[in-house]
Amino acid sequence: MSKDTFDLVIRGGRVIDPESGRDEIADVAIRSGTIASVGAIPAASGEKTLDASGKVVCPGFVDIHAHGQSVAADWMQAFDGVTTALELEVGVLPVAAWYDRQRADGRVLNHGVSVGWIFARKAVKAGIAPDPELHPMEMMGQGAGDEGGWSSAVASAGEIARIQDILSAGLREGGIGIGIPHGYAPGAGVKEMTAVCGTAAQAAVPTFTHIPFMSNTDPQSSEEAYVRLIGYAAATGAHMHVCHLNSTSLHDIGRCRELLLNAQDRGLPITVEAYPYGTGSTVVSAAFFADPAFPKRTGTSYGSIELIHNRHQMRDRDDLLGARRADPGALVAWHFLDLERDDAHRDLLDLSVLYPGGAIASDAMPWVEPDGSLYRGAEWPLPRRLSSHPRSAGTFSRFLGDYHRKRGKIGLAEAIGKCTLIPSRIIEGCVPQMRRKARLQEGCDADIAVFDPETVAERASFTDMTAHAAGMHAVLVGGTPVILDGMLDTQARPGRAVRGGRRNDDS
């Protein structure tokens, strides 16, 4: 192949690169999975081209909070412009076995995980050994009876040391930082958290934290939880990443946002993400649902919680506890903001989604069968019987379509930066390969999204969950088209591992 021959040339699109500030009509040439040239590229006979006239050409979106982690989940996120989907809030154990399995099965999108603190805690306090055959969301449902006090009890000094050893081993295996879903084990104390954050700081990796308390009232309010998180950053030097600021702050987003901005202004290593929905999703066994004071503390009722797989709306706490006993890993939707009828709630969501320098991250959930079990198939289109949260299909398209096009809350280039460069920079200090992603520049990986800015939009809803997003013309992962002319290639498996440390993406 001549050095002037390209595998594909994307011609005539509006090229937006958040890092360099480039925003112009240009061509993008790809060779061997890499961006070979950007600019005015002379036509060559026999070359493969993609006409991007009237389209935006930008780096593929980097989702640092994606729980789906399957081929089906990848397909839906590809239509949302995602080229790299990472499970960093919950993480996994064992780390090496998870990466081995992804390589054996094949993945559509680039993928990676953090080390799962909560699974280390379950192993140490309850003897629940991590099972590499289970999905992380299935593992989250294990031990719903709080065996050994893994969720509610303080760890001893010896137990903390064992947890740290497990986390350090996971980092050596390529885990991207430490996932700390503290809200699911709120009994873990400050001594344990400072030790875990110290492990992260020593390894120079981020923590990805779901705060321990979600409440509008003291004590143990969301505000208190964020003050603790800020304190961990100051006391240990650990990079504390805030997962889903929107859902964990509830109605106190304004005050929590102010605290975090003040901490950042003082130079503390804190980063933030949010998703553009007023409905959260998690497992029914989440500890905070069982709190008898849940309605008073959150400003919501048990009727705001519904099982995703059958749309059963909880009647009261007893109903929720029964569902928890029947299937602790069942996924639920929690409608904590009413965006359709309350403009004040919309304003609260905007404060988190438009957080200065904050990333957009989906918190995408797995796809589940009508009986609540996880879908492990590879049918396209996805069967309509499947369920998930609409954010699993439309987060980034909703953000672009609503916040940029419809409401004009943010410029297009800045919006793309919140979906690409900002999330990438959160992790690239410990993941060198990410410096080749989230950029549309010569020498970078050809992870590229081509979309129509006039039509990009979410289509999924709680009544039509499997509708993929609209407007995505082409999505390339490592130069390989996954979507071309709006059509999915169901055979393509170009996704590569993204690993922490100095390991390369084929290790």
Report, as an integer, the average pLDDT of 43-52: 91
Q: What is the predicted pLDDT for the residue at 341? A: 84
pLDDT tens per residue, range 341-395? 889 999 999 999 999 999 999 999 999 999 989 999 999 999 999 999 999 999 9
Report, as an integer, the average pLDDT of 245-259: 95
Half-sphere exposure of 26 (CA within 13 A, CB side): 16
Percent of the chain with pLDDT over 90: 92
Percent of the chain with pLDDT over 70: 98
Q: What is the predicted pLDDT for the residue at 70? A: 98
Confidence band, pLDDT 50/70/90 cuts, at residue 506 = very low
76 close to 67: Cβ distance less than 8 angstroms: no
Q: How many helices (H) and strands (E) does the chain have?
A: 16, 20
Tell which residue, 374, 375, 391, has the closest CA to residue 334: 391
Residue 2 has pLDDT above 60, yes or no: no
Three-class HEC string of 360-393: ECCCECCCECCCCCECCCCCCCCCCCCECCCHHH
pLDDT tens per residue, range 54-113? 999 999 999 999 999 999 999 999 999 999 999 999 999 999 999 999 999 999 999 999
300 close to 335: Cβ distance less than 8 angstroms: yes
Q: Return the higher-pLDDT residue of 462 and 355.
A: 355
DSSP string for residues in 142-195: TTTT-GGGTTTSPPPHHHHHHHHHHHHHHHHTT--SEEEEGGGSTT--HHHHHH
327 close to 282: Cβ distance less than 8 angstroms: no
pLDDT tens per residue, range 182-221? 999 999 999 999 999 999 999 999 999 999 999 999 999 9
Confidence band, pLDDT 50/70/90 cuts, at residue 502 = low
DSSP string for residues in 225-271: HHHHHHHHHHHH--EEEEP-HHHHHGGGHHHHHHHHHHHHHTT--EE
Residue 1 has pLDDT above 80, yes or no: no
Residue 3 has pLDDT above 80, yes or no: no
Interatomic CA distance for residues 250 and 245, integer angstroms: 9
Half-sphere exposure of 273 (CA within 13 A, CB side): 34
242 close to 260: Cβ distance less than 8 angstroms: yes
Interatomic CA distance for residues 28 and 10, integer angstroms: 5
How many angstroms from the chain centroid is the CA of residue 209?
12
Which H or E run includes 488?
strand 487-488
Give the CA distances from residue 431 to residues 171, 205, 502, in Å, rounded to whole numbers and listed in that order: 12, 9, 7
Interatomic CA distance for residues 125 and 465, integer angstroms: 38
Residue 43 has pLDDT above 60, yes or no: yes
Give the CA distances from residue 281 to residues 17, 230, 332, 393, in Å, rounded to whole numbers and listed in that order: 32, 25, 5, 14
Report, as an integer, the average pLDDT of 268-295: 93
Tell which residue, 419, 416, 479, has the closest CA to residue 447: 479
Q: Judge if the upstream peptide bond of residue 381 is cis by omega within 30 degrees of 0.
A: yes
Report, as an integer, the average pLDDT of 121-138: 96
Confidence band, pLDDT 50/70/90 cuts, at residue 507 = very low
Token output for 35: 């961006």
Token output for 208: 């990805």
Report, as an integer, the average pLDDT of 13-30: 98
Tell which residue, 420, 425, 421, 428, has the closest CA to residue 499: 428
Confidence band, pLDDT 50/70/90 cuts, at residue 287 = confident
Q: What is the predicted pLDDT for the residue at 85? A: 99
b/e per residue 245-267 (b: at least 16 CB within 10 A): bbbbbbbbbebbbebbeebbeee
Q: What is the predicted pLDDT for the residue at 475? A: 99
Q: What is the predicted pLDDT for the residue at 45? A: 76
